[in-house]
Chains A and B, each alone.
Chain A
Amino acid sequence: MSVIVANGLTHWFGNEHALDSVDLVVDTGEHVAVLGENGAGKTTLLRILATAMRPTSGRLEIAGLDAHRERRRLRHYLGYTGHALGLYPALSAAENLEFFCELQGTPRSRIDEVLEAVGLAATAKRRAAQLSRLILDEPDASLGSDAAELLARVMDGRTVVLATHDRALANRLCPRTLELRHGRSVGTATRLRVVK
């Protein structure tokens, strides 16, 4: 069952072409890695998938709903971690978690569960608790050496789209990859095939 259907996603920043007709279909429970160099359009694509941004043109449906019109509803189920941490440095990790739980509608009891499940890396996983679909933009950037195990545990059982430079990590975690170059998708591959 397809939970994310993206069609012809195109995005312009002024006169600069960030994404050029990208198509993507993700089924429930699938883990997809988006690969590409800096500037290839990974962050733009992920932000669009997370409903943080609207594409200049193209169509996106999540769980059968139009991603823009129903974005408030969809945000119940979407989790996104981006480049900037979006946290409050003046507040403790627990306070940050409590705050976002309040906004997300997650019961506080889940905070302890989450902290236990991921050890000290709670800051990067603040909303993983209740969310079934995750969009992760270079999550390994702020994690330590056991990033892969951590991510695998978080990703288990959920639909995940992940962006990274690290092809080895991507291959380990995600059976499917989508490669972007200059905003265009240059192919999808299965695990173990290294795409240049």
Chain B
Amino acid sequence: MNPFNVAVAVARKDLRSEWRTREMVPALAQFIILALLIANFGFQIDSHNAPSIAPGILWLALVFAGLVAFGRTFAAERDQASLEAMLLTPASPVAIFAGKAIAASLLLIVCEAVMLPALSLFFGTPLGADMVAAVLLATVGMAALGCLFAALVARVRARELLLPLLTLPLWIPFIIAGGQAVQSAMGLPGSYPEAIGLLIDFDILFVVLTSLAARFVLDE
């Protein structure tokens, strides 16, 4: 059971569970629809200011959806027993962590696939491969950090308070770079290649760090 197979098996198992129970995707979808509705009524959006407001709405919705999605990967009580069962096999804790992070990111990506077109539809902003690339790159790093801290606060009381408090400071670089990338993709001033470069750098940095930290957080 090499680590890659373990990660794939864990991701498949999580996704299959979600497919059968359909707990998370409706909650996330609801979130996103609410964000779009509120944005529409909360802001005075017209075709002129849409490109400057839309990225903000996008990241706001993604951050909150991400907190829900990653928080849930490690939260449920039965997940604690199952997590322990997985850790008691010889499988590497990093591989288990990677599998769960991959599954959670895929769920978030499904929601992004709904949100980006909806944003474009409702606010008339352009939608292209460059926007998709920016969002996907940011999701990778945010998933690694979100899942690591979700696993961490799963063992702590008051996790609903602690998860945002710990995760948001770490997500700020992604929101800044990702936000800039999306803004540039929508035609506002700013360098898209630089923003993407930063996202890739942050991804590499934090994926490596979370992989190193995973075994301390998951296993005794």
Contact = CB atoms under 8 A, between A and B. Distances in A.
Contacts of B80: 84
Contacts of B84: 52, 82, 86
Given A102-B1, A103-B6, A88 B90 contact: no
B88 A102 contact: no
Interface in A58-98: 68, 71-73, 75-76, 78, 80, 82, 84-91, 95
Interface of B is mostly: helix
Given A72-B90, A90-B20, A102 B9 contact: yes
A72 B13 CA distance: 22
B21 interface: yes
Residue among B20, B84, B89, B90 facing the most chain A CB atoms (10 A cut-off): B89
A75 B5 CA distance: 18
A17 B126 CA distance: 63
Interface string B1-28: 1000110011001001100110000000
Contacts of A86: 78, 81-82, 84-85
A33 B96 CA distance: 33
How big is the B interface, by class? 20 to 34
A44 B112 CA distance: 44
Interface in A131-145: none
Given A75-B90, A102-B9, A104-B89, A82 B17 contact: no
A54 B220 contact: yes
Contacts of A103: 1, 6, 9-10, 86, 89-91, 96
B89 A100 contact: yes
A98 to B, nearest CB: 9
A12 interface: no
Interface string B91-107: 11000100000000000
A91 B13 contact: yes
Nearest to B85: A86
Given A51-B88, A95-B16, A88 B1 contact: no
